Chain A
Amino acid sequence: MASSQKRISKELAEVTTNPPAGITVSLVDEANVHNWNIVMDGPEGSPYAGGKFKLLLVLPTDYPFKPPKINFKTRIWHPNVTFDEHGSMCVGILKPEAWKPSSKIMSVLTATQQLLIEPVPDDALEANAAEKFKNNRAEFNKEAKEWTKKYAK
């Protein structure tokens, strides 16, 4: 699958030379371009501001025909991210039926950042957080801030 490697290295070069604001990308292992470490700053104006969130981006061998997988390695209190050691995340463009081979990793990263700013409680993985986000925003913000302080420093 040399062609997938080429495309990945191209995108890696693009993301490292011109990274989106608040995102740094590095390889987990220099010899393997399929696993990326991503450090994302909590966006200003969200309860995650000030936190640094580690994510793991795994690109399948048949990338770009299959969507990449992205997981939060830092715990995060968010309606669309499971609050466990897996940190599975639900982003629209990563769903298999929504993924297009022409989508770029850059857009995945910005979509993730956008999700931190604007959670989608109707498409929640963490029902508890979604419930609070919908009905008791102050409580949600407070908890999210606390978890950010606890885990994402």
Chain B
Amino acid sequence: MNSGPDSADVFLESLGDSPSGETSAPNTIARPLPLSSFSSIPYTVQFEINPESTAFITSSPGSPSLSATHKESLTLSSLELNLRHTVDFRAITYDGTIDENLMCPICRCPLVNPVLTDCDHIFCRECIGDSLSHSELCPIDRFPLSLKDLMKAPKMVFNQLDSLKAKCPCCNIAFARSMLEHHMEKYCPESLVRCSALHSSKKCAGVVKRRLSDQGCLHYQVQCPDCMETLEQAQMEDHCHTVCKQRLAPCEHCTTIILRHKKVEHEESCSEVCRPCQWKEYGCSYEAKQDNLQLHNDKCTFKLFGAIAENIKKEVNDLRKEVGNLKETNHLQERRIKFLESGQKASEKPFEFMDSSDANLSDTANAETLDTGHEYLLSLLEVQQNRISNLAAELSELRAKHTVMLFNETIPMKNELAELRSTQQVTCMHVRWLMRFRMQENQRRFGGGPGPAPSGPDGGGPSNEMPLGRRLSDSMTRDLITKL
């Protein structure tokens, strides 16, 4: 990311060489910077003059980068020199880890312009647009989806995204993501602005870092004093610090002069650099320069212990590896047993097949696995038998319970039945008695008419007991006859 501004400069320099493109098009030309493989520059510079820039100058975000000199440069160089920066939020680096829920499942970056689907998933608008142009399905649950089903994501999501801390691609200071473009356009000392000579007689169309813009127009050719390369003064600083291969610089530790780009190599061998003790890992906190370190190494209290610890560490690692291997074989064997068991249950055939697959083991091992299989099966059988006997016991118990219950219920029923029977008999007796009484009365009434009266109750009672039915019908017909 550090090399970003350099290549931007180079690119913009080439823009300056051909100002024809600038004149033919109106003020707003977005210039995407070239994407060199994947380490690209995460922002584009828009050549647009912003007339409202004065409105923002009082509300400055309290960033540490806003030094006094920087503010001065803002006022010195006319405000119209600001360039609008469009930052690609997918290419910048963010501070800290980002909540997985704020990541777009398609581009795997923090969401940019999030939208909500019908099936409650959130994507970047651009990403889901691309995805729907390939197939009209939700990329997560394959629910049918079309562009018109997309809604703006809840405000809360936007707020969360806006408050993500993103690093400025120029000055590498972290800002809230929503403030980043504003920062780059107006405040970042490392971002690009138009050359202050734009409005002067020179009409310079170049761009320069804001930090340098108060030094007048820097767009003239100079020669690097170290590598003799010719380049613009505006790029000189970056060239000297990062690009130039010939530049000399003193070593920070031993103050010898070395080639700047060989610094890392030098530091490895530099005797003045502080290095930790050889046994740091085991608790020695001694740090010293190379010469002293050698002296220390001889008398370091961790010297004896360190060697032992090293051995132990090695052994522990070996053991760990062995345990891992054993675990794996154990796991395999367990699986094999399970397989055997299932094979035997299904039929004989898969069992044989498993048998042969074990042939890479020795014969004894083979027999062993079989034995364990049998044992396992037998134990299973035992368990099942136990279960069955338990069930049988439970069943008989239930049966007994049921008979008792039945018995309990039938006894009162029987009693009731007997009672009912007796009452029925009583009523029967009553009815019979009443019937007889009635019949006798009838007999007396009708029998009294044609026959002699004294033959009624005393003589007829016992004698007409037997032909009761006939008498009744007789009386009935007589009744009818009299009625007619």
User: Which chain A residue shows the least CB distance to B135?
Assistant: A65
Q: Is the CB of B109 within 8 A of A30?
A: no
Choose one: B331, B353, B360; the contact of A141 (CB below 8 Å).
Answer: B360
B-contact 0/1 string along A94-116, CB 8 Å cutoff: 00000011101000000000000
Q: Is the CB of A101 within 8 A of B38?
A: no
User: Which chain A residue shows the least CB distance to B329?
Assistant: A45
Q: Which of B38, B108, B134 has the most chain A CB atoms closer than 10 A to its own CB?
A: B38
Choose one: A6, A12, A142; the contact of B109 (CB below 8 Å).
Answer: A6
| Residue B65 interfacial (CB < 8 Å) | no
| Residue A3 interfacial (CB < 8 Å) | yes
Q: Is the CB of B357 within 8 A of A138?
A: yes
| Residue B35 interfacial (CB < 8 Å) | yes
Residues of A within 8 A of B149 (CB): none
| Bound Cα distance A66, B37 (Å) | 21
| Residue B481 interfacial (CB < 8 Å) | no
| Bound Cα distance A10, B38 (Å) | 9
A3-B127, A5-B35, A65-B130 given as contacts; is B106 within 8 A of A101 (CB)?
A: yes
Q: Is the CB of A102 within 8 A of B140?
A: yes
Nearest CB on A from B40, distance (A): 8
Q: Is the CB of A3 within 8 A of B357?
A: no
| Bound Cα distance A104, B8 (Å) | 32
Residues of A within 8 A of B155 (CB): none
Nearest CB on A from B123, distance (A): 9
Nearest CB on A from B209, distance (A): 25
| Residue A122 interfacial (CB < 8 Å) | no
| Residue A7 interfacial (CB < 8 Å) | yes
| Residue B90 interfacial (CB < 8 Å) | yes
Residues of A within 8 A of B356 (CB): 136-138
Report the count of interface residues on B (CB-CB < 8 A).
Answer: 31
| Residue A123 interfacial (CB < 8 Å) | no
Nearest CB on A from B108, distance (A): 5
| Residue A18 interfacial (CB < 8 Å) | no
| Residue B479 interfacial (CB < 8 Å) | no
Q: Is the CB of B130 within 8 A of A33?
A: no
User: Which chain B residue shows the least CB distance to A138?
Assistant: B359
Nearest CB on A from B43, distance (A): 13
| Residue A84 interfacial (CB < 8 Å) | no
Q: Is the CB of B107 within 8 A of A65?
A: no
Residues of A within 8 A of B134 (CB): 62, 65-66
Q: Is the CB of A3 within 8 A of B90?
A: yes
Residues of A within 8 A of B38 (CB): 5-6, 8-9, 12, 33
| Residue A87 interfacial (CB < 8 Å) | no
Nearest CB on B from A98, distance (A): 10
Q: Is the CB of A102 within 8 A of B90?
A: no
Q: Is the CB of A101 within 8 A of B105?
A: yes
Nearest CB on A from B105, distance (A): 4
Q: Is the CB of B140 within 8 A of A100?
A: yes
Residues of A within 8 A of B325 (CB): 44
A-contact 0/1 string along B8-45, CB 8 Å cutoff: 00000000000000000000000000010111100000
Q: Which of B300-336 contact A (CB under 8 A)?
A: 325, 328, 331-332
User: Which chain B residue shows the least CB distance to A13?
Assistant: B38
| Bound Cα distance A21, B89 (Å) | 32
Q: Is the CB of B106 within 8 A of A6?
A: no
Nearest CB on A from B42, distance (A): 9
Residues of B within 8 A of A142 (CB): 360
Nearest CB on A from B85, distance (A): 17
Q: Which of B228-268 contact A (CB under 8 A)?
A: none
B-contact 0/1 string along A15-52, CB 8 Å cutoff: 00000000000000011110000000000110000000
Choose one: B107, B328, B331, B359; the contact of A3 (CB below 8 Å).
Answer: B107
Q: Is the CB of B90 within 8 A of A6?
A: yes
Q: Which of B39-56 contact A (CB under 8 A)?
A: 39-40
Give the interface of A toward B (CB within 8 A): 2-3, 5-12, 30-33, 44-45, 62, 64-66, 100-102, 104, 135-138, 141-142
Give 20 pairs: A residue, B residue, CB < 8 Å, sorted on A.
A2-B35, A3-B126, A3-B127, A5-B35, A6-B90, A6-B91, A7-B106, A7-B107, A7-B108, A11-B108, A12-B38, A32-B37, A44-B328, A45-B328, A64-B106, A65-B135, A100-B140, A102-B140, A136-B357, A138-B356
- 12 further A-B contacts with Cβ under 8 Å, apart from A8-B38, A33-B37, are A2-B35, A3-B126, A3-B127, A5-B37, A5-B38, A9-B39, A45-B331, A100-B139, A100-B142, A102-B140, A136-B356, A142-B360
Give the interface of B toward A (CB within 8 A): 35, 37-40, 90-91, 105-109, 126-127, 130-131, 134-135, 139-140, 142, 325, 328, 331-332, 353, 356-360
Please name the 10 residue pairs, one residue from A and one from B, whose CB atoms are nearest each other, closest first. Answer: A137-B357, A9-B38, A102-B105, A138-B359, A101-B139, A65-B134, A101-B106, A7-B107, A138-B357, A31-B37
